[in-house]
Amino acid sequence: MAAILVYSEQADTALELVGAARGLAPQLGLTVSAAVLGAEAAGTAAAAAALAAHGAAPVYVCTEPALEGLDTAVVTQALAHIVEQAGASVVLLGSTRRGRELGGRLAQRLGAGCVTDAISLTVEDGLLVAGRYNLGGATVQRETIATPVQVVAVMPKIFEAGEPGGAGAGEAVVAVSAELAAPAVKVVDRRPKEGQAVDLAAAARIVGVGRGLAKRDDLPLTEALAAALGAELACTKSLADFGWMADDRIVGLSGAKTAPDMYLAVGISGQVQHTVGIAQARIIAVVNQDKDAPMFALADYGVVGDLYKLVPALVERLKTL
């Protein structure tokens, strides 16, 4: 039986993809297998064990030295090899930056059609249908792939990892050796990002800040608001481009897709590339001085006014809560 092959360099994303694959596999008449790649044996073994425990069978593990650094061209070679070995007809990747880059390259090598940044996967008329944002996020385009092998890169945090178990739980881990070219791209330096990482996708409350904020020095103002609300601070791409905030705080098309109970947008105009990241918020509140800002079209509650007056007023009010 042909397989769905799951791969992501992010262990948690890979587990989510196995969860998704297990849901789809019976409808498509496929089995679920997974791949783990990396030059480092211990980490790969642990990841493989986790995937196997969650029902991927078998899990293909390739630990060729050339995989050090996970250069996309090398990963592509390794995966293409595994796709063939596994007889995979569907490849699910995680649509992280690395995964998106990989998707196109792998699909090209396999002569496959590809969908990146998928936010939904369903089976209709026996076909796999992937939904993804289109036109800057204004619409969701639902696509099927017509090639014998289909490559889909799925956004992280869309699917649940699911419980351990499943068909061939814990069954086989297959070591793969492949002849891989040495990476042409060298990692000269890799350093962790400063500040603690934030997981906006999991946040219950978020304060999003945009260019309404006049200067970097004013950030403490909104930090105070986020603290008072018990919320994570997020931003539009513009502020991250200025270097005021880390890019894992971007909400939107090229940032996090969030689903908080409450999203408070402060000084954000509401371009669709941003709002696509908050469509799933339960309540959206808006502070903007321009009452014609498109952001208000998405507001449950809104106040028109200067954030420099309103944010302190909100902080003040929250003290008495």
Partner 1 sequence: MEKVECIVVGGGLAGLVAAYGLAREGVEVMVLERGNYAGAKNVTGGRLYMRPLRRIYPELWDDMPFERPVARELITMLGDGAATTVELASERLSGPSPQSYTIQRAKLDQWLADKATAAGAMVVTDMKADELLRDGERVIGVRAGGDEVGAEVTIIAEGVLGLLSGGAGLREQPRAADHAVGFKEIIELPPGVIEDRWRLNEGEGAAQLFMGDVTRGMTGGGFLYTNRASIALGVVVSMEQMRTRSDELESWELLDAFKEAAQIKPLVRGGELAEYSAHAVFEGGIDKLPRSYGAGYLLAGEAAGFALNALVTVRGMDLAIASGWAAARAALAARAAGDSSAAALAVYERFLRETFVMRAMEAGRGVPRAIENRRLFSEYPGAVARLLEGFFAVDDESSATLVRTSLRGARREFLKIDTLKDLWSLRKV
Partner 2 sequence: MDIAVCVKTNPDLQLMRVKDRAPVLEAVPFKVGDLDKNALEAALLLRDAAGDGRVVAVTVSEGDRKIRETMKEALAIGADEAVIVSDPALDQSDQAGVALALAGAIGKAGPFDLVLFGEGSTDGYSGQVPSRVAELLGLPEIGYARSLQSTGAVLRAERSMGESIETLETALPAAVTVVSEINEPRIPSLMNIMKAGKKPVVEYALGDLALDAAAVAPRRAVRSNLAEEQSRKHVLFDGEPAAQAEALINALVAEGVLGR
Ligand X SMILES: Cc1cc2nc3c(=O)[nH]c(=O)nc-3n(C[C@H](O)[C@H](O)[C@H](O)COP(=O)(O)OP(=O)(O)OC[C@H]3O[C@@H](n4cnc5c(N)ncnc54)[C@H](O)[C@@H]3O)c2cc1C
Residues 188-227 that bind ligand X (CB under 6 A): 210-212
Among 16, 64, 71, 232, binds partner 2 (CB under 8 A): 71
Determine if 292 is a binding residue for ligand X (CB under 6 A).
Answer: no
Q: Smallest distance from the beta carbon of 108 to ligand X, in angstroms?
A: 22
Residues 182-241 that bind partner 2 (CB under 8 A): 183-193, 197, 205, 229, 237, 240-241
Q: Which residues contact 50 (CB under 8 A, 6 or more apart)?
A: 11, 15
Beta bridge partners of 19: none
Alpha carbons 198 and 224: distance in angstroms, whole number: 17
Q: Smallest distance from the beta carbon of 210 to partner 1, in angstroms?
A: 16
Provide the token pair at 208: 């999003």
Q: Which residues contact 190 (CB under 8 A, 6 or more apart)?
A: none
Alpha carbons 205 and 289: distance in angstroms, whole number: 22
Residues 108-127 that bind ligand X (CB under 6 A): none
Residues 257-286 that bind ligand X (CB under 6 A): 267-269, 271, 273-274
Q: How many CA atoms lie within 13 Å of 55's alpha carbon, on the beta-carbon side?
A: 21
Give me the residues that bind partner 1 (CB under 8 A), please. Answer: 291-294, 296-297
Residues 101-120 that bind partner 2 (CB under 8 A): 101-105, 107-109, 112-117
Q: Smallest distance from the beta carbon of 124 to partner 2, in angstroms?
A: 8
Q: Smallest distance from the beta carbon of 263 to ligand X, in angstroms?
A: 12
CB nearer to partner 1: pick between 291 and 317: 291
Give the count of residues interacting with ligand X (CB under 6 A).
Answer: 26
Q: How many CA atoms lie within 13 Å of 317's alpha carbon, on the beta-carbon side?
A: 7
DSSP 259: -
CB nearer to ligand X: pick between 55 and 255: 255
Q: Smallest distance from the beta carbon of 136 to partner 1, in angstroms?
A: 13
- Residue 205 vs residues 71, 222, 234, 282, 295: alpha-carbon distances, Å: 36, 14, 10, 10, 18
